[in-house]
Chain A
């Protein structure tokens, strides 16, 4: 017999919505492609073939070749790793910063709250893309070098932890935590006045325990939803930056920097523009559908109104 546990309820609502399931499948596929890249990519993404430059899609090269004769499909398959990693790490960083600042702001209030809220206002009033561009251009990517463990350096042939990728992850993370912070703050403001918190405090729980065990755990669902939607945004920002030539540096393949080649060869090689862009579109769509699906399945208010 099935029980109405929250997980079961969530799942039954989630699986009923075809669009959410489609989003989930897209994200799952992206994971598969990224992890299985060495097995499924037909060619080495770095293999230059000067005799087959800018070849149109055909049986040998399903998505054609680029200006150095490299197989576009293979480069896109390896590029999915960049997209996946940047999305998750950047939003991971943003979520941690946002949760900590939001918690302090909402729980303690007073001057800490005022300073943090003012800081959020400042961050939000600088056009985000300007801020990201400025930081990326003026911060030397090598300053993050210490974050890469020595045994990993130079090991990955694909430049998976290339300093330029790390730089993007950190910069996107540092510039997209404001929404989460506001969300967590609002949750804390409403939850800290609830009886179970008074009870916890009466039992002698420390601030730390109340913040992390009692309030934070109860405010995780909006954070999760905004994180999934945030990944979609991070993927878009990464590809835009790589497209502009200040993101992931070639020869490391990323969807954005393949599109740069598409623009350079705009009159002659449509396949360089069409396929990577489509990959970005589908990926972002997947995260968005998944995020919205989770929201609709968690938020019972919406669900009730939906049934009416």
Chain B
């Protein structure tokens, strides 16, 4: 197990290296110097100040050296200073350890994705199993149709419709932000309730797409398992249908879901750009969008790299989970 873990971690190194190279190349494909946006916005800037700025970001050095210097810094998780007006370090803007958890962007995105992942699993697995065992029934047809619509639904549109219905029309839920103005003066339960009201729509939207994909996947995994000989044996032994499905088939059908969870990490992180923007939630996705729009290149490179590291960790966790769950793989 530990040798496997070490091997996997070592394998991640060249991929990580490639990712840093990729993000570096994309940013430097842009015409002009990355600091242009900075200097153009400030008409009073002197040539000396411009030079100092370029020196600060090592832009006066050859591109290979720039990459090397950047790489040397990010090994220590130092992504440099953001171009935003306050010039805070990139890492501090993503994860400010001096602030409460809810004001740390990475935490907000992580929390929303984790909650929606749990919701996805709690709904998709039973739905998948029941539509597989009741194959071609009316129930199966209804869930299959719903799944197809779920696949085709543009998330931002779903968000808009929900905002119109629950926010504008019914006035039930707030349509923007993470908490109300009076949040700090609320008692603990009031705070939780306030957060829940703000997060209800974003979590629903972020879970929606995954729900369709995962229940479909669970259904086909279950159908695959039901066809296996050991399920037939279990039936031949005279076990009740309940026992056949839940003790023999279900556990095996669950295994591929672990891999799917790992593979869904990049989609979840990427999707956060859309829902965080629409609902005005201060997370990584919103930060990334703002950084992209202002061409804040240390920020963009930093978030691209961190997003990729999270994805790789997700894949690793999925593989380890698979190993823990499946004795056949542990043995080899």
**Which residues of A pack against B, CB within 8 Å?**
118-119, 121-131, 133-135, 137-140, 143, 232, 236, 239-240, 243-244, 246, 259, 262-263, 266-267, 270, 273-274, 277, 280-282, 284-285, 288-289, 305
Contact = CB atoms under 8 A, between A and B. Distances in A.
Interface stretch (B66-74, B198-206, B273-281): B273-281
A305 B168 CA distance: 49
A277 B161 contact: yes
B30 A139 contact: yes
A262 B307 CA distance: 30
B97 interface: no
A138 B307 contact: no
Given A126-B266, A135-B26, A236-B154, A118 B164 contact: no
B156 A240 contact: yes
Interface of B: 14-15, 18-19, 22-23, 26-27, 29-31, 148-149, 151-157, 160-161, 163-164, 168, 175, 227, 266-267, 269-271, 273-274, 277-278, 288-289, 292-293, 295, 297, 300, 303-304, 307-308, 311-312, 315
A270 B154 contact: no
Given A137-B293, A266-B160, A130 B304 contact: yes
Given A130-B269, A266-B168, A281-B152, A244 B274 contact: yes
Shortest 5 CB-CB contacts between residues of A and residues of B: A129-B270, A277-B157, A127-B270, A284-B152, A285-B152
Contacts of B297: 138
A273 B161 contact: yes
A262 B154 CA distance: 14
A134 B300 contact: yes
Nearest to B153: A281
B119 to A, nearest CB: 20
A285 B266 contact: no
Contacts of B31: 140, 143
Contacts of A119: 18
B266 A138 contact: no
A219 B149 CA distance: 29
A139 B300 CA distance: 14
Contacts of B151: 232, 284-285, 288
Contacts of B307: 126-127, 130
Contacts of B22: 122-123, 126
Nearest to B269: A127
A275 B304 CA distance: 34
B149 A134 contact: no
Contacts of B164: 266, 270, 273
B18 A267 contact: no
